[in-house]
Structure 1
Amino acid sequence: MQTQQESRVSEASSDTPSRALAILKDIFGYPAFRGLQAEVITHIAGGGDCLVLMPTGGGKSLCYQIPALLRDGVAVVVSPLIALMQDQVAALHEAGVRAAFLNSSMTQAEAAAVERGMLTGMHNLIYVAPERLLTSRFLDLLSRTHLSLFAIDEAHCVSQWGHDFRPEYIQLSILHKRFPNVPRIALTATADNVTREEIVERLGLNGARIFISSFDRPNIRYQIVDKVNGRAQLLDFIRAEHDGDAGIVYCLSRRKVEETAAWLVGKGIRALAYHAGMGAPDRSRNQEQFLRVDGVVMVATIAFGMGIDKPDVRFVAHLDLPKSVEGYYQETGRAGRDGQAATAWMAYGLGDVVQQRRMIESSEAEPQFKRVASAKLEALLALCESTTCRRVRLLGYFGESSTSSACGNCDVCLNPPQVWDGTVAAQKALSCVFRTDQRFGAGHLIDVLRGNETGRVTQWGHDKVSTFGIGKELDEKTWRAVFRQLAALGLLAADVEGHGSLHLTAASRAVLNGSQAVPLRLQPERKKTSARTGSACEDRSAALDPAAQALWVRLRAWRADVAKQHGVPAYVVFHDATLAELVRRHPQTESGLSQITGIGTRKLESYGEELLEILRLQLDSGSRLE
């Protein structure tokens, strides 16, 4: 006997796949589906519920946008951020899709007009925040609307153990109770097994199909460096590999965000700040500049980024350690959404380990939450200290096995670290912590171990302890790495009051008595790179002959003008990849334009003549491109 879910799905028309493909080509301008997109679209179009895990840039939005156009009624998309709603609606308008959003940026009259449109079937898709959706007034409006489906974007926000928990998301199970016959699709780019189970349970998706795409983002180069002077290292990284590129720099505190942004500006980097403590107009203005102006670096707390659709972010940098692998993956995934080369860079040191452990231990959370948070931190530290491919370890965290033991596009693969027997060094370090009464931080302990007679060392009489000078064979940088890894391994812990002093843990006893070996990772010297890993726009331009480069510049200038006229970011008009294909193929007819990826029927009608004029003018100038 069929379940209600199976009965709904079985109603899918046999021509759904061909209709979906036609929409993909005609409206969105793409020639073929990627990965699991076609299967997901057929399932939800047929009335089935599902949970979709797909990496950032993998095409999640199409998984509900196309079913919304295949089914009768209005699709309601639950989205947590105003910026995401506005960007997606703008892009849909450019493609000729009837979409709208409801959020706090609108006047009462504007919102009322959208609501009337819902009742009269004027819209295919409506984007709404969970807070508004859950009001009794809006639920009543939904009950009077012909609904096609519910899409719950950023579904990981439902998880209390996750990095982006939103209390309102837990209440979204009401959609299944109030509208049991309306199919639902929940989507996220980040969810381990525990989070997946929580999404299913809290959203009432029991019996729903789960689609899991590969978490791999092969275009992103993962790079984690030993933090010495984080800001200076960040500046060197930007100048060497991403000068002039758009990027995001994440910091843990609001103060550090503002100081880092100001410092970068002083060094000639076009940087802006973003954090929750800023006024809404300032946040909105800075976000608009980041989205619409080329080459802006946004320095932000994790309050910024979720749902940002900007495809040409060439790097994401972390000056502070994230709280979990999920957080790290979600944040780094904002780089290279266009599939071009991008970098995920992080400076990581002992202070990060101490800070994160202290935050967990000193929090007022329940013991169960602290255990989960500690386990997530341990997994992230293992990624940071890995001596094997970072990508393989990252994918393994999400339960995805790799066919290779090395990706060839992370710092470990490109510049393998040495592993050495650090047992004796660990014993010296732990003994020094004990001999100085477990009251001092790493800097002081390193001075003692190296026999540095600083004023503080002599003041405390630590030039007389047995561990004074027993570590002269290692330099300061190596000792810093030793203490960092001992903290990462749980052999040292920091005081919860925040004074930075280190103390022994119960696990350190086995090392001190010689029953446990301690292999350590030696941070390799970073190799000088002769070429930049990012800057996809400039790299693509540099590979062109002079005539093609002139066309590339002209197309980008035209796109910028159109975007300004329409009040949207340039990438909403066309992605760089579309412009590059125009340069490469140089079509001379509307039929030829229609074969270019990203040019659907509406955009062909809107921009076809202007594009052909630019292309023909370039050809008439005597520069025929191959």
Structure 2
Amino acid sequence: MDLHSPLKKFFGFNKFKGLQEQVVNSIVNGNNTFVIMPTGGGKSLCYQLPALMQEGTAIVVSPLIALMKNQVDAIRGISENNGVAHVLNSSLNKTEIAKVKEDISNGVTKLLYVAPESLIKEEYVLFLRTQKISFVAIDEAHCISEWGHDFRPEYRNLKHIIKAIDNVPVICLTATATEKVQEDILKTLGITDANRFKASFNRPNLFYEVRPKTKEVEKDIIRFVKQRIGKSGIIYCLSRKKVEEVAQILQVNGLNAVPYHAGLDAKTRAKHQDMFLMEDCDIVVATIAFGMGIDKPDVRFVIHHDIPKSLESYYQETGRAGRDDGEGYCLAFYSYKDIEKLEKFMSSKPVAEQEIGHALLQEVVGYAETSMNRRKYLLHYFGEDFDEINGEGADMDDNSRNQKKKHEAKEDVIKLLSVVKNTMQKYKSKEVVNTLIGKENALLTSHKTHLQPFFGIGKEKKAAYWMALVRQVLVVNFIKKEIEQYGVVKLTKEGESFLEKPVSFMMTEDHSYSEENDNTIITNAKSAGAATDATLVKLLKDLRKKVANKQGVPPFAVFQDPSLDDMALKYPINLEELSTVHGVGEGKARKFGKDFVALISNYVTENEILRPDDLIVKSTGTNSGIKLYIIQNTDRKLPLEDISKSKGLEMTELIKEMEAIIFSGTKLDINYALDDVLDEDQQEEIYDYFMEAETDKIQEALDEFDGDYDEDELRLMRIKFINEVGN
């Protein structure tokens, strides 16, 4: 049958895209059909065209009201009769429902979009049984499978409902599905005989990059976006709160951004979506609810502020970039802490669901930490081979552009796996690492692990090294995390056989995705889009040492390292500019700044340096109210618990706010609060430690005191110390 004339008549296209023609043929010939096509591949035309060509009404099951509305509008746009497409869902009143039924009965309606919840209603089922139905299309079919990333229980029942209406062909469509999900969908719907069509998942125009996520992630995002002014982008966050925060920070920094999440009312959501489509704003900051069925061809970048829960979600969300085959930059920020957070959320779910969730998360960790070609990794996950030398888009990812160093780690893997085995596979990764580096704690002592000959066999390397190795060994499936006993590490068959017959294991270096200290700012070019001037940093460190000696204080009490890094990025040449630097407020600038800005000013002149004028990232100002409140109420000697409660802060969050105040040079007297927590001798001991210490990193203080003090106590003492010595 010639399908080109209806294609031209209804849609105005002269030719089909990819597999569309074969799929339409399969449906027109009355076959069950299963279609996997990546986002932007033209899935909806696959069922719209046969529906318009055939007698009767096609039922389209779709999970999202917004998506249905978009598609109905699009179909109505190509026909003079509005009744050609209808939506049947909870948003309609009685009169509207009557109109829909009338149009179907009169043979006007070719496409009826329904949510699965509506299709269950008996009155609709009874009505549809009396009508001529051409076929049933199930869009976003991965919702059927509990292995899918977007599982909806009400989708599981579709097989029985379709049978109750009529014995018609079924067409399922999805933009992402692994082998497991595909089989599950076909089995659940009882259509294992379906014709299967799978398009390539390779999107050669997309560039994939993963960067370490630090405390400065918002700054990194702003720098990235400012280099792409006027281009459209989507920034995904996992929580509504984070969406609001990020959108606000972008707005304050002069960027045209709006938030989008399920907590906003429908009117605001629709307005923000339209602003994005109509180019009244450049950036949408959204939870994953945004983007399904968004047909905006020129999204130029997709940023993941938080790593998603599965590679399917990641693939689908990044797939919204560059649908016009133009540039599409996919940037994800990754820190293992985010994965641990997601694991914690999961621990309250039923075991079967946890198992699936953990398996999906493990794939995400593998992708983020891999040193292989990211496109190859992604396509392999979807069951597709990719030639990383000659394949289309082979060099379009960060790993291919700058190869990471590897080293032989066979002996270390043996140590790691034998510790897992010899501790009877009862520890989580943290305890396994503590055993390797010989760090005692209550749990290890209770099991007498600290008395074993293997305790401390890896102490020549740091905990961070072993943690990275644990993750790389997880990715190749030598060990697995036990679900029943949340997070306990067990050896797999592959791990056992490696121990019996060890072979080479190349470990990837330069993958420190952890946050180094409390105020890390990443300033290497690759991760921040701007490079720190290493020569200047050295000069500033020498000057800091001189100033510190003169004042009789440790160097970090003058300025912390992140502040020096930031000076070498912004080149401030007067005190006003200096007070915009990370961790430097007006007080600190006045107290120590004169020599520093003089040095920078000379350096800029001598080296003819062009100073950046756009790297000053403003904060939203929401915190300044809190800061003022803290200063006023510590002056009044109000207990810290009361201050934190009244502002809805956890104690750790309050301490963080206080640190920001004193690190920027403002005085804050909390002696009254410390006296309730620590006696005079304890305070003196910690104070002396900071006076002698090379660095003010809390982790080093915790290691030094080895459990005598907890983190909050040390942080509070550091505040007192900097307040008295540095401010």
Q: For this structure pair, what is the TM-score category when the shorter chain's length is used for normalisation?
A: 0.5 to 0.7
Q: Which moved further from structure 2: 102-111 or 346-355?
A: 102-111
The question of 1:289 aligning with 2:275 is answered: yes
* 1:80 is the counterpart of 2:63: yes
**Are residues 111 and 358 of structure 1, via their aligned partners in 2, closer, same or farther at CA, if it must alter by over 3 Å?**
same
* C-alpha displacement of 1:471: 5.5
Q: Provide the rounded CA distance (Å) in 2 between the counterparts of 1:509 and 1:36.
A: 45
Match of 1:366 among 339, 343, 351: 351
**Aligned residue for 1:557?**
none
Q: Is the 8 Å Cα contact of residues 405 and 508 (structure 2) preserved in structure 1?
A: yes
What is the aligned counterpart of 2:76 among 90, 93, 104?
A: 93
What is the Cα deviation at residue 28 of structure 1? Answer: 1.3
What is the aligned counterpart of 1:316 among 278, 297, 302?
302
Letter in 2 for 1:55: P
Q: In 2, Cα distance between the equivalents of 1:394 and 1:204?
A: 29
C-alpha separation in 2, matches of 1:137 and 1:293: 42
Q: Secondary structure at the match of 2:325?
A: coil
AA partner of residue 22 (structure 1): S
Instruction: For 1:511-522, list aligned pairs within 5 A.
Output: 519-522=506-509
* Residue from 261, 267, 280 that aligns with 2:247: 261
SS of alignment partner, residue 267 of structure 2: helix
Separation in structure 2 between the aligned mates of residue 397 and residue 285 of structure 1, nearest angstrom: 37
Report the CA distance shift for 1:52/1:440 in structure 2 as closer, same or farther (over 3 A).
closer
Structure 2 counterpart of 1:177, one-letter code: K
> Structure 2 counterpart of 1:373, which letter?
G
Aligned partner of 2:126 in structure 1 is 140
Aligned to 2:11: 28
In the alignment, the residues of structure 2 paired with residue 387 and residue 429 of structure 1 have an alpha-carbon distance, to the nearest angstrom, of 21
C-alpha distance in 1 between matches for 2:489 and 2:359: 19
Aligned to 1:385: 369
Counterpart in the other structure of 1:198: 184
Preserved CA contact (<8 Å) 1:335 1:342: yes
Report deviation, 1:506.
5.9
Q: Which has the larger radius of gyration?
A: 2
- Distance in 2, Cα, partners of 1:468 & 1:196: 44
Provide the residue aligned with 2:221 in structure 1.
Answer: 234
Partners of 1:350 and 1:484 within 8 A in 2: no
The separation in 1 between residues aligned to 2:267 and 2:279, in whole angstroms, is 18
**How far off its partner does 1:289 sit?**
2.6
CA distance in 1, matches of 2:460, 2:497: 21
Separation (CA, whole Å) in 1 of partners of 2:361 and 2:30: 39
Deviates more, 1:74-83 or 1:289-298: 289-298
Which structure 2 residue ranges, 5 or more long, are not aligned? 439-454, 512-523, 530-727
Q: 2:154 aligns with which of 159, 168, 174?
A: 168
- The Cα offsets for residues 500-532 of structure 1, whole Å up to 9 and x where unpaired, read as xx99766899999996876332348655999xx
What is the match of residue 414 of structure 1?
401
Change (3 A) 1:138 1:512: same
Q: Is the 8 A contact 1:419 1:522 kept in 2?
A: yes
Residue correspondence of structure 1 range 579-594 to structure 2 within 5 A: none
Query: Could you state the TM-score of these two structures normalised by the residue count of structure 1?
Result: 0.68
Corresponding residue for residue 646 of structure 2: none
Quote the offset at 1:99 in angstroms: 1.9
Q: Distance in 1 between matches of 2:193 and 2:489?
A: 48
Give the distance between the partners of 2:485 and 2:339, measured in 1 at CA: 15
Within 1, Cα distance between the matches of 2:499 and 2:370? 24
- In structure 2, how many angstroms separate the alpha carbons of the residues matched to 1:395 and 1:35? 18
**CA distance in 1: counterparts of 2:289 and 2:340, whole angstroms:** 23
Deviation track 1:331-383 (CA, whole Å, cap 9, x = no partner) reads 211222222221221011121232233344x133224x333332222222222
Establish whether residue 401 from structure 1 lines up as the match of residue 388 from structure 2: no
Q: For 1:447-469, what per-residue CA distance to the aligned partner results, in whole angstroms no more than 9, with x for missing partners?
A: x99xxxxxxxxxxxxxxx98999
Aligned to 2:96: 110
Contact 1:163 1:326 (C-alpha < 8 Å) held by counterparts: yes
For 2:695, the equivalent position in structure 1 comes to none
Q: Name the aligned partner's letter for residue 363 of structure 1.
A: S
**How far 1:51 moved relative to its partner?**
0.8
Shift of the 439–268 alpha-carbon distance from structure 1 to 2, 3 Å rule, reads: farther
Q: Which shows bigger deviation, 193-202 or 244-253? A: 244-253
CA distance, structure 2, for counterparts of residue 512 and residue 196 of structure 1: 35
1:29-66 C-alpha deviation (Å, 9 max, x unpaired): 22211221111101101211111111111111111011
1:37 counterpart residue number: 20
Counterpart-to-counterpart distance in 2, 1:516 and 1:252: 40
Shift of 1:136: 0.8
Unaligned runs of 5+ in 1: 1-15, 450-464, 531-626
C-alpha distance 126-349 of structure 1, shift in aligned 2 (>3 A): same
Corresponding letter in the other structure for 1:260: V
1:471-526 CA-to-partner distances (Å, cap 9, x unmatched) read: 59x9x9x899668657767879899999xxx9976689999999687633234865
Pair 1:85–1:528, CA change in 2 (3 A): same
Q: 1:200 to 1:238 in 2, by over 3 A?
A: same
2:342: which partner in 1?
A: 356
**How many angstroms apart in 1 are the aligned matches of 2:410 and 2:387?**
33
Residue 176 of structure 1 and its aligned partner are, at CA, apart by 3.7
Task: State the match for 2:195 in structure 1.
Answer: 209
Question: For 1:353, what is the secondary structure of its paired residue?
Answer: helix
Corresponding residue for residue 211 of structure 2: 225
* Partner secondary structure for residue 43 of structure 2: coil
Q: Aligned equivalents of 1:394 and 1:287: distance in 2? A: 29
1:367-412 CA-to-partner distances (Å, cap 9, x unmatched) read 4x33333222222222222222111221111111224545121222
Q: Distance in 2 between matches of 1:495 and 1:134?
A: 35
Question: How far apart, in 2, do the equivalents of 1:510 and 1:252 lie?
Answer: 39
Question: Does the CA-based 8 Å contact 2:129-2:166 persist in structure 1?
Answer: no
Any idea what SS the aligned residue of 2:234 has? strand
- Higher relative contact order by CA 8 Å / sep ≥ 6: 1 or 2? 1
Aligned residue-pair number: 487
Return closer, same or farther for 1:43/1:506 CA change in 2, 3 Å cut-off.
Answer: closer
**Deviation string for 1:117-142 (max 9, x for gaps)?**
11111222121211112211111221
Q: What is the root-mean-square deviation in Å for CA atoms of aligned residues?
A: 4.0
Q: 5 Å matches for 1:218-617?
A: 218-229=204-215, 230-240=217-227, 242-360=228-346, 362-367=347-352, 369-405=353-389, 407-421=394-408, 519-523=506-510
Q: State the AA in 2 paired with 1:234.
A: I
Deviation at 1:311, TM superposition (A): 2.3
- 1:306-340 alpha-carbon deviations (Å, 9 max, x no partner): 22222222222112222222121122112222222
For 2:48 and 2:237, locate their aligned partners in 1 and report how far apart those are by CA, in whole Å.
34
Partner of residue 569, structure 2: none
In the aligned structure 2, how far is the partner of 1:95 from the partner of 1:173? 32
TM-score (norm 2): 0.59
Aligned to 2:168: 182
DSSP-derived class of the 2:128 partner: helix
Q: Secondary structure at the match of 1:178?
A: helix
Q: CA contact under 8 A between 1:75 and 1:150: conserved in structure 2?
A: yes
Tell me which moved more, 519-528 or 391-400. 519-528
Q: Which residue in the other structure is 1:617 paired with?
A: none
Deviation, 1:175, is 4.2
Counterpart in 2 of 1:6?
none
Aligned residue identity for 2:172: A
SS, match of residue 61 in structure 1: helix
